[in-house]
Amino acid sequence: MLQTATEQPKKGAVSNLLHGPFLWIAPLVIVLLITFVYPAFEVIRYSFTDASLTGKDYSYTFSSYLDIFSDKQVYQTLWTTFVFVFFSVVGQTVLGLAIALAIVKGEELKLRGTVFVRVVTLLAWAIPGVIIGVIWKIFLNESESGILTSLLHSIGINNVTFLTAGGSALVCTIIANIWRGTAQSMILSYSGLKTISKDIMEAADIDGATSWQRLIHVTIPSIMSVISINVILNIIMTFNTFDMIMSLTSGGPGNSTEVLALTAYNQIFVKMNLGSGSAYATILLLINGLMAAFYFWFLRRSGDNTN
């Protein structure tokens, strides 16, 4: 009797587990294990080897990480990645907020074309990164067939370099990425602006605040949590940008536009160095994990402050 009594709660718990949410989330868990967890584990494992794509034999070693931190080119790549991420995020955030402010003001004045502006801004977000790189490469082509080059030649400006010089190539890559990522910033900023109480804005008008003062002291503080989330998401997305740079510059000229994600790709699929490429990918995974953890911490902190 005692054994039967103790077995019944266990059977009940198992039954509740099988008929509860476990069965619903089990397929998702299996897919995540197969498509994400296992490949990530293999990348981390290979990062501690000297494996190559051209051979099957390998041994476990720390040489990949030692080579990374002793290579001066790595620090140049990290600096390029930092410059690319910093100016891209600043440009996306500022331009997205400016477009959102213009749309909200247009809606207040009941101007035509606000929906058109939103659609045009979202087009860049809908286009795949590879296609964006190809579009900008055609636009910045330095031959006579290049759109911008032909326009500059028509007004007497010649010998302009876009993608063939290191500094200008990085600037052009940043501009292309700003154009690509502004849509997300606009959407988040627009949603934040629509939550601002009209009473607050009317009180600022009564106090005699100018448009600039309302923006600095009322609008931006009111949506600061939205702006902060927007910045964090932009950093994560920009830090992982690969497809657009690959089709636009392939990291060139030289290594002037090579970011960390592109370095990992080149190590594995160009130099066939699986161990070194996996080490770069592991570092990239670690940085992304830290940024994601900070993002969720910030969301929880914002929720606690709201409550």
pTM given for the model: 0.86
Which one, of 139, 102, 105, lies nearest residue 121 by Cα?
A: 102
Phi, psi of 142 (to 5 degrees): -85, 0
The two tokens of residue 153 are 């030649």
Distance CA 109, CA 218 (A): 20
Q: pLDDT tens-digit profile of 199-247?
A: 888 888 888 888 889 999 899 999 998 999 899 999 999 999 999 999 9
64 near 47, Cβ under 8 Å? yes
Q: Tell me the H-state helices in the chain.
A: 2-19, 22-32, 38-47, 63-70, 72-108, 114-126, 129-139, 147-154, 166-193, 198-206, 211-214, 220-222, 224-239, 243-248, 260-265, 274-306
Question: For the chain, percent helix, then strand, then coil, each to nearest 5?
Answer: 75, 0, 20
Task: Say how many C-beta atoms besides its own lie within 10 A of residue 296's C-beta.
Answer: 10
Task: Kindly compute the dihedral angle of the four CA atoms of residues 26, 29, 30, 35, in this order, to the nearest 10 degrees.
Answer: 160
Percent of the chain scored above 90 by pLDDT?
A: 47
The two tokens of residue 231 are 């910045």
**274 pLDDT band (50/70/90 cuts)?**
very high
Q: pLDDT tens-digit profile of 118-142?
A: 888 788 788 889 999 999 999 998 8
Q: pLDDT tens-digit profile of 71-111?
A: 888 999 999 999 999 999 999 999 999 999 999 989 888 88
CA distance to 65, 192, 267, 280, per residue, from 48 (Å): 8, 45, 15, 11
Please give the distance of CA 42 from its chain centroid, rounded to a whole number: 24
